Structure 1
């Protein structure tokens, strides 16, 4: 087998590996959004029913936090696999000696400032989503025991009232 065929197979293998895990990352994140939405809808239904389902709403809130943590860890793993593929593709690009095709190598040189209005990576956006939804899950775990979210009419003039349980 000559070197051109070997090189092409190496490039194809590295690209397919990168493509597989990049697609897997997006699929897993979409699945996370669907599951989180269903859990949040369940919490909303429980909160509308008043205090009789507050324990279930709390359990769903804890579950939402757990789901966020698990998907964050899955995303970390897939991110590492993608970075491994990118590293291999960078080495292949550099081995060609053609500066015009250094897509992955040039992308790594781009400065990513940490500011709020800078360009964010997929990973940063995903981590912010996991953190936000996880914290909302934590709030759902506690708030049903502190605030009555019942949508049923009340004699008072406020639809939401504070409930202090001692």
Structure 2
């Protein structure tokens, strides 16, 4: 195997690995955010959604470190390929793809490299994860934050709520729901009023 083939295989393996790891990160973070939102819909599990959301910055840090390492390996392969291009065809040749891509006059500050874009995604996901964890942890319903009775209904309004279970689904016919809404049912039509 000649040097060009070896350097190209090294570059190709690490470049494809980098994209596969980033794609896995996106899938994992999307699943965590989706699961956190679904869990946050249940009043009993809001703290678990905060735990899920707080995992995102931790995972972002780990995947950022993996990406930085893979980026260094790719840059080493690019340097080897540029050296091979200089030896074989010279810097002015059209076949010098890596040399032309790394010339200083072709790069500006506003060029978006893979590294810059990936780090932006890691930063945004971390920030959204922290904000979502704070929101999930701070908006606990009154039934979970204290002052509740044995039924899980806040003591201040326990005399107002009446539950009438039906064969298919228990409904709140009059009173307070865990999301801060007063629900009144008239037959199958529900009327929702904010307090």
For this structure pair, what is the TM-score category when the shorter chain's length is used for normalisation?
0.7 to 0.9
Structure 1 contact 25–75 (Cα < 8 Å) conserved: yes
Give 5+ residue unaligned stretches, structure 2: 142-176, 183-192
Residue 98 of structure 2 corresponds to which residue in structure 1?
104
Higher strand share: 2
Residue 154 of structure 1 corresponds to which residue in structure 2?
181
Residue 37 of structure 1 corresponds to which residue in structure 2?
30
Structure 1 contact 65–134 (Cα < 8 Å) conserved: yes
3-state secondary structure, aligned to 1:112? coil
> Of 39, 51, 60, which residue of structure 2 is paired with 1:46?
39
Structure 1 contact 65–138 (Cα < 8 Å) conserved: yes
Deviation at 1:15, TM superposition (A): 0.2
TM-score by length of 2: 0.69
Deviation at 1:97, TM superposition (A): 3.7
Higher helix share: 1
Give 5+ residue unaligned stretches, structure 1: 1-7, 159-166
Q: Output one character per residue of 1:85-141: Cα deviation in whole Å (capped at 9) or x when no partner.
A: 00111111111143222111111112221xxxx331111111100110011111122
- Structure 2 CA distance, aligned partners of 1:57 and 1:84? 41
Q: How large is the Cα RMSD of the aligned pairs?
A: 2.1
| Residue correspondences, number | 146
Query: Which of 1 and 2 has higher RCO (CA within 8 Å, sep 6+)?
Result: 1
